[in-house]
Structure 1
Amino acid sequence: MPLRSLSLQLYSVRHALDEDVARTVERVAAIGYTQVEASYKLMSAGPETLDAIRANGLTAPTMTSPLFDVDLDDVFAKATELGASAVIESYLPEQYWTSLDDIAKTADRLNAAAAKAADHGLRVGYHNHWWEIDQSFEEGLTALESLEARLDPRIVFELDAYWVAVGGQDVPSYVAKLADRVAFLHLKDGPVNRDNIEQKPAGQGTLPFPRIIAAAPKLEAGAVEFDEYDGDIFDGIAQAFAYLNPQVER
């Protein structure tokens, strides 16, 4: 199955955004992106991000945000203003993943957030790193799979394909196992290690993206993302776009 749509996670260009929000979003649009993934942090900093997104005719299917110890009403209000359909918890550090009890507590909190999101017409999602993948507290299951088994069925996953590989899994097989929840994918490439500076544009590393995408029949959007990039980030996101955009269904 081809990609339905392609976004850019604006975290990739965060340093440029710090300098000039309007110009940065304009450059993203000039590459050819029609969608972006914004964050609650950006949306809370002032109207500049939303103004720039609208001025360049972009949409935002997702917004990332902390979902613990935050004003959820404000989070969901900003997601609604952005036009997002889902709010993604994008970073729960390793201290949340030390035991099965930790995982159960995280599931409870995500489920509560999902119930509140539904009142706003939104969904909640979860985005992984490697530590949810390379740990196991139940036989035969990764920690992320243990979380999945405890989640409200309305909660979706935004799987980061690269971190799934770093966690030691065959990515297409792992995506297929969680396919009922995989609504979004983060798409970056590289040598499959934890050194962020070695990340590469999709298609320039070891990940089999056509097979990964095909393993997620409920996929709504892929998002180009870099944690770091050893080069001109705009060149990096342009190369990723050139590789992935032809895979978007027309």
Structure 2
Amino acid sequence: MKHFQRREFLRLGGNLAAGVALAPIACKLMPKGEETGKLKAFGIQVWTVRDVFPQDPKGVLKQIADAGYKQIETFDGPQGMFWGMGNTGFNSYIKDLGMELVSAHNNIYTDFEKKVDEAAAIGLKNLTYAWEGPNKTIDDYKKIAEDFNKKGELCKKNNIRLVFHNHDYSFRAQNGQFGQDILMQGTDAGMVDFEMDIYWVVAAGQDPEAWFKKYPNRFTLCHVKDRNKNPVEDNGKNSIELGLGSINYPQILKTAKDNGMKYYLVEQEAYPNGTSIQAIQVDAAYMKKLKF
């Protein structure tokens, strides 16, 4: 299977360079008659290109724009979440490329007031936190929810949403309770939103659609990331180009949209078939063709 995927990837990459439609990697489409729409815009979490982004953020952003992405989600790297350009410089450069900065992953426990001020100054609407770590108790999750509300209040005063991005651990039950439930029920919907990493929900054995339906309008961003059809034990290695994995995105994203999803952000964490730049090009081609 691995050899098939690599051959398919290389052939599709050639088609992309030639400007040919990527029919072989087309979405896993629903039956005829159920295709109701396409995404007006989609974005990318630049963590996807973390191997090349720090060395040349401007050059890589240009390649991202050229691939067809319209939205950027940054992360708090060695040069900060604005990558040495400052908040206004980073935002302006992204706008010049025809894209929009929609979210920034950051450590909300370090200089958070400064980050809120910088985000507010450029109209950034989402400050996203992505890691509480596993092995949390239910009481831990209750305390985390309280803290999210406090930080969410500061964000709300600046027209920003505080967002929590999940991994698998909050979707794994502890004595019949999910940490994710505690966070969602314990936070104020007027201040705190959630970004569902669909890959990690699937990796935890959960149904993303069920969670979208359970908490409508709470998941406003999502990470669109495919999972190998033959996963290994280390989930960090199971990420694969969109369309080559096992996740039924046409169906899942339709349910997401019906329940308040606003931003669809590609993320890929492993590149079994080529480079990170080649991967984002294939992923973008998939998103352009996706119908639901």
Structure 1 position 45, deviation (Å):
4.2
- Whether 1:92 and 2:128 are equivalent positions in the alignment is no
Contact kept in structure 2, 1:36 and 1:61, CA below 8 Å: yes
Q: Percent identity?
A: 22
**Matched ranges for 1:28-67 at <5 A:** 28-41=64-77, 42-47=80-85, 49-50=90-91, 52-67=93-108
- Alignment match of 1:165 (pick from 202, 213, 219): 202
Aligned to 1:101: 139
**Cα displacement (A) at 1:201:** 2.0
Letter in 2 for 1:53: I
Q: Give the aligned residue type for 2:203.
A: V
CA distance in 2, matches of 1:147, 1:236: 33
Deviation at 1:187, TM superposition (A): 0.5
Q: Judge conservation of contact 2:221–2:261 (CA < 8 Å) in 1.
A: yes
Q: Which one is further off, 188-197 or 164-173?
A: 188-197
Structure 1 counterpart SS, 2:127: strand
Once the two structures are TM-superposed, the CA of residue 34 in structure 1 deviates from its matched residue by 1.5
CA distance, structure 2, for counterparts of residue 248 and residue 117 of structure 1: 35
Determine which structure has greater relative contact order: mean sequence separation of CA pairs < 8 Å that are 6+ residues apart, divided by chain length.
2
> CA separation of 1:2/1:152 partners in 2, compared to 1, >3 Å: closer, same or farther?
farther
The aligned runs of 1:1-250 (5 Å cut-off) are: 2-41=38-77, 42-47=80-85, 49-50=90-91, 52-67=93-108, 69-95=109-135, 97=136, 99-137=137-175, 139=176, 141-154=177-190, 155-191=192-228, 194-216=234-256, 217=258, 218-230=260-272, 231-247=274-290
List runs of 5+ in structure 2 lacking aligned partners.
Answer: 1-36
* Gapped regions of structure 1 (runs ≥ 5): none
Following the alignment from structure 1 to structure 2, what is the Cα–Cα distance between the partners of residues 104 and 148?
10
1:215 is paired with a residue whose SS is helix
Q: For residues 113 and 201 of structure 1, what CA distance do their matches in structure 2 show?
A: 35
The amino acid across from 1:10 in the alignment is: V
- TM-score, structure 1 normalization: 0.89
Q: State the alpha-carbon separation in 1 of the partners of residues 178 and 279 from structure 2.
A: 31
Structure 1 contact 186–222 (Cα < 8 Å) conserved = yes
Deviation readout 1:40-69 (Å, 9 max, x if unpaired): 4443542164454233122111111122x2
The Cα RMSD (Å) is: 2.1
How far apart, in 2, do the equivalents of 1:23 and 1:71 lie? 28
Q: Say if 1:73 and 1:57 are closer, same or farther in 2 by CA, change over 3 A.
A: same
**CA distances 1:62-100 after superposition (whole Å, capped 9, x unpaired):** 111122x222221112323453211111122114x2x11
Aligned residues: 244
Which 4+ residue blocks in structure 1 deviate beyond 4 angstroms?
none
Letter in 2 for 1:73: E
CA shift digits 1:136-180 (9 cap, x unpaired): 35x3x4220122111111211100000000011122223322232
Q: CA 1:206 to 1:248, structure 2 compared with 1: closer, same or farther past 3 Å?
A: closer
| Largest Rg, 1 or 2 | 2
Distance 1:5 1:177 in 2: 25
Q: Deviations over 1:215-241 (max 9, x none)?
A: 222111100012232321111111111
CA distance in 1, matches of 2:63, 2:40: 23
Contact 1:5 1:248 in 2 (8 A): no
Q: String of CA shifts for 1:80-139, please: whole Å, max 9, x gaps.
A: 3453211111122114x2x111001100110001000011111111100001111335x3
Q: Which amino acid aligns with 2:246?
A: T
Q: Is the 8 A contact 1:4 1:248 kept in 2?
A: no
